[in-house]
Amino acid sequence: MKRHGISQILFISLVMLVSGKVFGGQDDAAKQAKWAKSTNVKKEQVEYRKTEISGHRATSPTNIPSAILHQPTKQVHDLSSDEQEALDKKLKSHRDATILPPKPTYAAPKPQQSSADITHPQAAAEAEAPKKTTFGDKLKSWFTTKPQPKQPETQVDANPFIKSFKGKDDSGIETPEYPKKEQLAEPTADEMTAAHRFVPGQTGPEISAESGIPKKAPISLEKLKTAVEEITKKVVSGEFISEGDKTRLRGAETALTNFRTKIDTKIQISSQAIKKAAADIKKLMDNAIHATAQAKKDILAQIEKTQKELAAKKENHVNAVRDSVSATKTAVELHGAAITEYQKAINGSPQDTDSLKQLQVSRDSFKSAQKAAETQAKELDTAIKEVDQKVAQETKKVTQFGTDIKRLEAKIQTQVKVMQGISDSISKVRENGNEPGPAATNKLAEMNDVLKKLQENKAAMQKAARTAQSDIMKLRTQSRALSGSLKTAEAVLAAKIPADDRTPQQLADTVSILRAAVKADPRDKDAQATLKSATKDAEQKLKELEQKRKDDAKKLRGLRKLVEKQRNNTEQQTKTKQERDALSTAMITDLITRDSLKAAIAGKLPKGVKAPTQAPATSIPVQEQEKPGHKIILDQL
């Protein structure tokens, strides 16, 4: 057996030696030369590819192929068009033949190329030629371990629920497994609606905390007004506010407040500009009194120019006031809805400090809007009177133009009759065979010139009359618009603020929270103003409690006397005692609330509040407990 194995090995070695596949031979040498040649080609390709990648230095000698670089200058520069075209083709073929293949990708492998798909001729011939299989190749394959195809691994989800949620969002709706980039793009400022701007957690540009508008977007009055009106409609209709969701409403109120502030600033600036223009006109008129003729002419031209500017500024001012009225109406509707919404929130959750503060802010904003409407109504009334005055002036002009035009028409008719008489006399002279004298001809020519001037004056007056009539129509349209805005302002003034349904304890909590906020940030002017108004509301509620206490005390004394009188009627006396005891209990509760309200107004936080400068959420006063003194007070009544 051992001898058989040795003889087999010797036989195999002999066969391999003869075939020349192990120790070399002619075929092996040819392959070695071919391999060296391909290696050199690849090196040249890499070098040429580097020059192609560096790219922008095409005029550098290092980027010019050596075949062209070493040619005489004449052959490069002094070529005919045909030669140049042939050279370009040669360069193109050289470049195409030496282009390296692209970097490998991880896409699915492409099918093997045929010679038709390969650009280089030599490579195409090699790819097309079938590979020869020799006895040595077969012998090698016998002793080479063939790689087994890799079996796909069975993937097991660590979590059995992952597969069920794959491709779904939090709501369980099917979504693409790999969203495209454009699907994740953020909406632009113009594309964003109110839902984007005021919904917390919405993907999109960063939202400004002050205005509720994207920070990158240019904030203009027109865009802000559109956003506010869009939200206000939804708030008023009730479809925009869900129970407990106050963030959107607060954002809408903030944006609306900022809009009204910008409008008011615009009104103040235009008002100052109007006053300055009026002062400049008065100054120019004073200077014109003692000026020379030429200087007076220049001053009058300057006055006319300033008057036109003043008229334009007044028009802009009135338009700004009208916009302000529109914003005020929107504010009243929005703040009215907000008051109702926040009142519901604090009734459902007494610890909702944010709603306590925002309720006070909304009530103050409602009152501020009505106060602004009062000022706007006065300005609009003044503007309407000015427009009506202009209408009267322009109407007077039109009437005067009509009178003057009739007078000119009469003069023209008279002139035409006189000219007709002169013309007839000249014709008669000519019929008699004589020539008219120069006096008659000259007079006719002069009268004709006067007639032309009269006709030109008439045309100018008619044009001025038409312009005045057009101005009257515009002024009347403006007057109607101003009247509509005035009615809107009057409707805002007539609107009633929702009743203050806050309990005394809620008012005490509001004052305490705002006082803590002011102490935490003494520079916050808005918080100071809100605290001041909340304190006034608390004082008003305290007066009502004091008046109620007096009325209840009077009623309690009456019930006590009635109990004494009903000694003989036990049944009736029992009912009276029950009523008396119920009233006494209610009065004690009112006294507890009164003390809490007094402490909040005085700035003395009741027991249970650790520090006045801590966050408002922890600054809610603990309601006062019943004290022995409360019954003593009742006994003294």
Instruction: Give the DSSP per-residue string, 500-553.
Output: ----HHHHHHHHHHHHHHHHH-TT-HHHHHHHHHHHHHHHHHHHHHHHHHHHHH
The answer, yes or no, to whether residue 537 has pLDDT greater than 50, is: yes
- Contact between 304 and 312 under an 8 Å Cβ cutoff? The reply is no
Give the Cα separation of 332 and 497 in Å (integer).
Answer: 9
Structure tokens at 238: 């009730």
Give the Cα separation of 475 and 386 in Å (integer).
Answer: 10
Q: What is the pLDDT of residues 426-476, one digit of tens each?
A: 888 888 778 777 887 888 888 888 889 999 999 999 999 999 999 999 999
Q: What is the pLDDT of residues 331-386, one digit of tens each?
A: 888 888 888 888 888 888 877 888 889 899 999 999 999 999 999 999 999 999 99
Cα Rg, the chain, nearest whole Å:
50
Helix (H, G, I), strand (E, B), or coil: what is residue 9?
helix
Structure tokens at 412: 């023209």
The residues that bridge with 343 in the sheet, in sequence order, are none
Helix (H, G, I), strand (E, B), or coil: what is residue 58?
coil
Q: Cα–Cα distances in Å, from 604 out to 108, 609, 614?
A: 78, 10, 15
- Model pTM? 0.55
- Contact between 227 and 194 under an 8 Å Cβ cutoff? The reply is yes
Amino acid identity of 457? N
CB atoms within 10 A of CB 373: 25
Task: Give me the mean pLDDT over the 301-327 stretch.
Answer: 88
Question: Positive or negative CA dihedral for 288, 289, 295, 297?
Answer: positive
Q: What is the average pLDDT score of the chain?
A: 71
Query: Domain map of the chain by residue range?
Result: 7-57, 217-494, 504-636
Burial class (CB in 10 A: 0-12, 13-18, 19+), 164: exposed
pLDDT of residue 334: 83
